[in-house]
Amino acid sequence: MSESILETKSLSKAFGGLVALDKVDLAIEAGKITAIIGPNGAGKTTLFNVITGVYPASDGEILFQGTPLKDTAPHRRAALGIARTFQNVLLFGNMTVLENIMTGQHPRSRYGFLGAALRLPRAHREEETISLNAMKYLNMVGLGTHAQQNALSLPLGQQKLLAIARTLATEPRLLLLDEPGAGLNKLEKQELSDLIRRIRETGISVILVEHDMPLVMGLAEWVIVLDSGQKIAEGTAAQIQKDQRVITAYLGEEVE
Amino acid sequence: MLARVKRKWTYLVIAALLAFLILIPFDWSLGQYTVLMIFIGIHTMVTVGMCLLLGYTGQVSLGQAAFYGMGAYFSAVLSKTYSVNPWLAMLIAAIATGAFAYIIGYPIFRLRGNYLAMATLGLGMIIYILFNQLAQFTGGPEGMSGIPYLSIGGFVFDSSFKRYFLVWFFCLAVLLISQNIVRSRTGRALRAIHGSEAAAESIGINVAQFKVKIFVLSAVYASLAGSLFVHHLTFISPQPFGFLASLMIVVMAVIGGLASIWGAIFGAATIHILSDELLLRFGEWDVIIYGLILMLVMIFMPEGLFVRLRDIFGRWRLRYAQRGAEP
């Protein structure tokens, strides 16, 4: 068996009496595109929030590259190499497109208040690297001509690409994409698929939560199905499409 | 080409501003406004801290006058009652005020929005009451006088003319440092927190820590301003450090344009010129006019009066540059 970038062991999360994640065991293979699907309320976004540390887990364990993430704060997890996007994009509307990506370089640069206040040579050197890297990620998502525009002046499709570029700038090992295809047209979805494949080729493992089945089936090398907080199936796209439990979860019992 | 034109204009504006600032206090120039300009400089320092906190990071403080007052009282009490060297007193005041802001910063910034506003408002009130009640140190409501002037070697800052240059040296240093911070990795992190805390956290920004750090920096600015204030007046009483002062700091920041460092001068100047030259005849009613200004600016130009004027000037400049480029 190949190496896992992320493992969860009996991972649970309850909000009061509501069990959002119920003893979920996952092993996400490094360097692959994994999709997590499931009906609304299955716990997909909660899973992302627990992995990134937004919520503490109620029970169970998360291992990232073999190391347990116990009470690691969200910003520390980003520094370790876990990056994510959000369903509602959450760009920095008070910045330009390029500045959004430059901000993503935060965990890969070091100088602080003093370096900034006195414009120390180290700060200057780091700023140059930050700009260069930001331009690289900007061009990678094809937004090179929009660098100086306000981030929110972009159409939704490009905003989502920018959000991905911002996470790439954190130089992650694992990228969690929360419904990257939602609200995009066919052409934009095609661009998105191409981008996700290119990201994988750079060695970054990708997990995506997505409702768009053609997109998922075209991209994912491994599919995990959640329903009511439990993992009910996993396998290749072809296996999942035939799985009776998955069909039941999505469509209900067959009456015929 | 445009970037070069822009830079040329920026240098021109800065040079003109500097020349203007240097010439003001001479008798054949605008000498009668020297004292007014000293207060503008002092309040600009406090306002810049508010711009960083409120304008860039999106965190409100309605108790900023507490730090301004703490700087002033530490300086006054140490240098007068305990005969500490005024410079050393100023340094101790800044460190103590910063440390205080750091300690209360972590619990206070667990709060957001209106709750944060209420908590900082309460903080300002508590400190103001302490200035009044700790009379054995502070002199109580009557205050204390006879605070020494600052001096370097044998050179005593014993005239407004001399203190003008001292205050504006500090003020410009604070403006420059703040501008450098805004245009850096740290500045982007602060703006990211303003934009979306969840997103900022997700890309590795320690949101809680940055909020506290910028709060401490704003407190240190206010403390330095307070120290300069008492060594200028050589008299101190609690009155300039109450709730109204905290409110005025917010108004100055808003008029200057919250997300603009140099706008702080404009905001402080507007309010001082208004209050010292125009609104005196309204007596106690001036508060209503400040409230009205705050409302009107927030409704019609939420980006601030200064930023609006700068943008208009920027457009005009661009048109001028383009016309010049045509054959």
Provide the pLDDT for residue A256: 54
Q: Look at residue A43 and give its three-state secondary structure.
A: coil
Provide the pLDDT for residue A254: 57
Q: What is the pLDDT of residues B99-143, one digit of tens each?
A: 999 999 999 999 988 999 999 999 999 999 999 999 999 999 999
- pTM (2 d.p.): 0.92
Q: How many CB atoms lie within 10 A of CB A129?
A: 12
How far does A68 lie from chain B, in Å, by closest CA?
Answer: 18
Numbers of helices and strands, H then E, in chain B: 14, 4
Report CB contact under 8 Å: A84, B185.
no
pLDDT band at B3 (very low <50, low <70, confident <90, very high): low
CA distance A133 to A111: 16
CA distance B75 to B99: 16
pLDDT band at B91 (very low <50, low <70, confident <90, very high): very high
DSSP E strands, B155-286: 155-156, 235-236
Q: What is the pLDDT of residues A53-90, one digit of tens each?
A: 999 999 999 999 999 998 899 999 999 999 999 999 99
Provide the pLDDT for residue B20: 86
CA distance B247 to B238: 15
What are the Cα distances from residue B300, in Å, to A49, A102, B295, B304?
Answer: 39, 32, 9, 9
Name which of A106, A128, A131, A166 to mutate to probe chain B: the one with the most chain B Cβ atoms within 10 A of its Cβ. A106
Provide the pLDDT for residue A2: 62
Provide the pLDDT for residue A53: 94
Report CB contact under 8 Å: B203, A169.
yes
- Which residues neighbour B84 within 8 Å (Cβ) at sequence distance 6 or greater? B78, B92
Any long-range contacts for B319-322 (C-beta under 8 Å, 24+ apart)?
Answer: B321/B2, B321/B5
Answer with the residue of higher pLDDT: B277 or A228. A228
CA distance A248 to B227: 73
Report CB contact under 8 Å: B203, A83.
yes
End-to-end CA distance of chain B: give it in Å, rounded: 15
Provide the pLDDT for residue A1: 47
Provide the pLDDT for residue B327: 42
DSSP track, B93-131:
HHHHHHHHHHHHHHHHTTS-HHHHHHHHHHHHHHHHHHH
Q: What is the pLDDT of residues A17-26, one digit of tens each?
A: 899 999 999 9
pLDDT band at B325 (very low <50, low <70, confident <90, very high): low
For the ranges A237-246, B32-41, B185-194, the one whose mean pLDDT is highest: B185-194
Provide the pLDDT for residue B299: 83
The mean pLDDT value for A133-161 works out to 95
Find residues 48-107 of chain A whose CB sits inside 8 Å of chain B: 52, 54, 73-76, 78-79, 83-84, 86, 90-95, 99, 102-107
Report CB contact under 8 Å: B185, A90.
no
Cβ–Cβ < 8 Å for B256, B306 = yes
The mean pLDDT value for B59-71 works out to 96
Report CB contact under 8 Å: A94, B194.
yes
Name which of A55, A80, A92, A168 to mutate to probe chain B: the one with the most chain B Cβ atoms within 10 A of its Cβ. A92
Whether A152 contacts chain B with CB within 8 A: no
Cβ–Cβ < 8 Å for B53, B193 = no
Q: What is the pLDDT of residues B15-58, one digit of tens each?
A: 888 888 888 888 787 878 899 999 999 999 999 999 999 999 99
How far does B203 lie from chain A, in Å, by closest CA?
Answer: 6
Report CB contact under 8 Å: B191, A95.
yes
Residue ranges of domains in chain A, CATH in brackets: 1-81+172-256 (3.40.50.300), 90-169 (no CATH)
Whether A238 contacts chain B with CB within 8 A: no
Provide the pLDDT for residue B301: 78
How far does A102 lie from chain B, in Å, by closest CA?
Answer: 8
pLDDT band at A159 (very low <50, low <70, confident <90, very high): very high
Using CA coordinates, name the residue in chain B closest to A93. B195
Q: Residue A243: pLDDT above 80?
A: yes
Provide the pLDDT for residue B326: 47
Name which of B202, B258, B261 to mutate to probe chain A: the one with the most chain A Cβ atoms within 10 A of its Cβ. B202
Provide the pLDDT for residue A253: 65
Helix (H) or strand (E) holding B267: helix B263-273
Residue A220 identity (one-letter amino acid) = A
The mean pLDDT value for B80-91 works out to 96
Torsions phi, psi for A234 (to 5 deg): -155, 155
Q: What is the pLDDT of residues B256-292, one digit of tens each?
A: 888 889 889 999 998 888 887 776 777 777 778 888 8
CA distance A94 to B49: 19
Provide the pLDDT for residue B192: 97
Pairing of strands A222-227, A33-37: parallel
Q: What is the pLDDT of residues A89-129, one digit of tens each?
A: 999 999 999 999 999 999 999 999 999 999 899 999 999 99
Report CB contact under 8 Å: A93, B195.
yes
Using CA coordinates, name the residue in chain A closest to B179. A117
Provide the pLDDT for residue B1: 47
Report CB contact under 8 Å: B203, A170.
yes
End-to-end CA distance of chain A: give it in Å, rounded: 41
Residues B92, B98, B100, B103: is their CA dihedral positive or negative? negative
The mean pLDDT value for B222-237 works out to 97
Provide the pLDDT for residue B22: 87
